[in-house]
Amino acid sequence: MNWGHKLTIVIIAFVCLMGFMVYQATQTDFQLVEKGYYKSELKYQQVIDGNSRVNALSSKPSVVKSGNRIIVQLPGEMKDTQVEGSLWFYCAYNEKMDRRFELRPDKDAVQELDAAMFEEGEYTVKMEWTSNDQHYYSETKLRL
């Protein structure tokens, strides 16, 4: 085999490789972190302020799995106060696993959720709430 045939084989192999890579690229599922990410970005100062308020509290909110329950514990300052807010269990690699709930803690600032509603995976629990006309925001990692 002379050098001309070898060069032709290399060029054909290169074209086939490029064609395969283009095919793979068209089959990839690209998900945005959030559909309304631009609108969310404009409200980011509220997140910064809410996070600063959480850092000033005596303790941070916690989210733990205990048996077949997920327990959300707000800081002690939230006990016996009116709390309104939301919980977002955000899964970075699959938006179909995301879950949103209304934050409704009891008088001890605890809310329980059924763990069976969730698939196994890593979640970032984004908590946003208002109490005593103050806005709070916190993120906690949770592995189920």
Predicted pLDDT of residue 32: 59
Percent of the chain surpassing pLDDT 90? 58
Residues 10 and 59 in one domain: no
Residues 44 and 20 in one domain: no
Residues 77 and 125 in one domain: yes
Confidence of residue 63 (pLDDT cuts 50, 70, 90): very high
Per-residue pLDDT averaged across 34-49, rounded?
74
Confidence of residue 92 (pLDDT cuts 50, 70, 90): confident
Residues 75 and 114 in one domain: yes
Q: How far is C-alpha 106 from the geometric centre of its chain's CA atoms?
A: 25
Residues 53 and 24 in one domain: no
Residues 55 and 109 in one domain: yes
Closest CA to 118 of 44, 68, 54, 57: 68
Work out the widest C-alpha separation in the chain, in whole angstroms. 87
Residues 113 and 51 in one domain: yes
CATH number at residue 62: 2.60.40.10
d(CA 55, CA 6): 66
The top-scoring range by mean pLDDT among 12-16, 56-60, 78-82 is 12-16
Number of domains present in the structure of the chain: 2
Predicted pLDDT of residue 21: 95
For β-strands 110-114 and 122-131, DSSP reports them as unpaired
Residues 88 and 122 in one domain: yes
Residues 41 and 85 in one domain: yes
- Other beta carbons within 10 Å of 20: 10
Residues 13 and 54 in one domain: no
Residues 6 and 55 in one domain: no
Per-residue pLDDT averaged across 97-101, rounded?
92
Residues 59 and 87 in one domain: yes
Confidence of residue 94 (pLDDT cuts 50, 70, 90): confident
Q: Tell me: pLDDT of 30 over 70.
A: no
- Where in the sequence is the domain holding 59, given as residue range(s)? 37-143
Q: Tell me: pLDDT of 19 over 70.
A: yes
Q: What is the pLDDT of residues 117-137, one digit of tens each?
A: 999 999 999 999 999 889 999
d(CA 113, CA 7): 64
